[in-house]
Structure 1
């Protein structure tokens, strides 16, 4: 499970670059019940170029204007590290690329963004005063992270070298291949599985022009209601809703700018 305990190698933040910040804020407000809190940015125009999403008063994610030329709107997932500079070196040793060099964000912390050897993008956060999100694994917050990749073995090798992640494989139902569960280094798997990765075909990777990509899974109380809200607010549903044994009821969705995410109503234990 994803928590806010700052375990190294675990997800601690996520943000979204969108072409239309107000419209995107309204969409996620309708689907996940998030309240958008714009940040005052000099020259940003009506202070609407970036801000925070809150759920029940707690920060769950960030939102900003998509400014990178040629980039698609997509969620960026950040993993907690103790030394962002050392992580950048580990990324390059393992064959990855530093997209955004380590950057200090005043007293709040340090960040960097990378691509894995196959093109999957991810980021890291070295906390200062800001630990990351304040709510996880609850309705309306991040509950899982997932990588779709063209080469699962290569992905496991790369991320294992960078973060020390530990893996366990399970067979997908109906002969659908292998799903790899991810746990931070040195943590009991049954307590802290935080995500998964799976090898998929070109048709799945078409969303990112053939490159691997990470996406977030958000917990909801009612998957069908969340899907109806997606469709009713300009988004689309790629798959589902459907029941996954032992996991819950889920659907793969796109927001109006085609940023992908999953909604999951987990099975009650």
Structure 2
């Protein structure tokens, strides 16, 4: 399992769950992915770290308790910035909002939470001692992040201005699917919210997690109290399913068609 020691600016670095019921969420994800968890205590309160292989294993995701019960449970995708102040200025200039201004998280790093012009939340991360996930593109780890939105052209403009992303169209499972690239490397995707989505459903980011058998994992998620919204479906990158966990946080499962994710991400 290769260790991730750093992330380039514009790359996804971390996925964080905000849950109204941390114990239920912990049980669900540890059972579904085989994760281990431990509690990190700081001046900001308690934070749950999910790892592979026990307390010494690489970090794969985090969880905090949802502070406001009126807000939905959700996953937040974090992206690496080389300059927090400059990134926040870019967010504002491009029409986004800064929801949580830059703050230090102990000695781990600096974060900020933003939303794009359509209201999809995301976070920025500048690392100190925690670069982000200790492993990606491996079983039980994050292997992709994806935006679902209605204003595709507006999103192209916004994220291009904020992260310098270049968009490339793909012929996957929908008429239009966008891969965003940093240099030659695909870092994220975007899917249009069309008539198949419920009216008024908000734009949002979700993480994808690698599973060895998408069908088995989707069935296990349902048995553990989750819901399957898109049943296991074949697409060019592999077999995927979109689910919500028992607290209604949305995420996706993917069994890659090609295990060499580097080759897939480097596709022109």
- TM, length-normalised to structure 1: 0.89
Alignment partner, residue 234 of structure 1: 225
User: Once superposed, what is the RMSD of the aligned Cα atoms?
Assistant: 1.8
| Contact 1:4 1:136 survives alignment (8 Å) | no
What secondary structure does 1:12 align onto?
strand
Alignment partner, residue 177 of structure 2: 179
Q: How far apart are the structure 2 equivalents of 1:94 and 1:61?
A: 29
* Change in 2 beyond 3 A, CA 1:42/1:127: closer
Alignment partner, residue 266 of structure 1: 256
What secondary structure does 1:158 align onto?
helix
* Change in 2 beyond 3 A, CA 1:43/1:12: closer
What secondary structure does 2:197 align onto?
helix
* Change in 2 beyond 3 A, CA 1:247/1:172: closer
Alignment partner, residue 187 of structure 2: 194
Q: How far apart are the structure 1 equivalents of 2:154 and 2:110?
A: 28
1:43, distance to aligned residue in structure 2 (A): 11
Pick aligned residue for 1:247 from 233, 237, 253: 237
Q: How far apart are the structure 2 equivalents of 1:148 and 1:204?
A: 10
User: What's the CA shift string for 1:9-52, capped at 9, x where partnerless?
Assistant: 000111101011111001001111111112236897xxxx5310
Q: How far apart are the structure 1 equivalents of 2:107 and 2:35?
A: 26
Q: How far apart are the structure 2 equivalents of 1:179 and 1:4?
A: 30
Alignment partner, residue 54 of structure 1: 51
| Contact 1:205 1:212 survives alignment (8 Å) | no
| Contact 2:229 2:241 survives alignment (8 Å) | yes
Q: How far apart are the structure 2 equivalents of 1:129 and 1:40?
A: 16
Matches within 5 A, 1:65-214: 65-173=65-173, 176-184=174-182, 187-188=183-184, 192-201=185-194, 204=197, 209-214=200-205
Give the number of equivalent residue pairs.
253
Alignment partner, residue 219 of structure 1: 210
User: What's the CA shift string for 1:214-243, capped at 9, x where partnerless?
Assistant: 000100111112112101110010011111
Alignment partner, residue 246 of structure 2: 256
- TM, length-normalised to structure 2: 0.89
Task: Structure 1: give runs of 5+ residues left out of the alignment.
Answer: none
Q: How far apart are the structure 2 equivalents of 1:96 and 1:43?
A: 26
What secondary structure does 2:41 align onto?
coil
| Contact 2:239 2:257 survives alignment (8 Å) | yes
Alignment partner, residue 15 of structure 1: 16
Q: How far apart are the structure 1 equivalents of 2:43 and 2:207?
A: 30
| Contact 2:145 2:205 survives alignment (8 Å) | yes
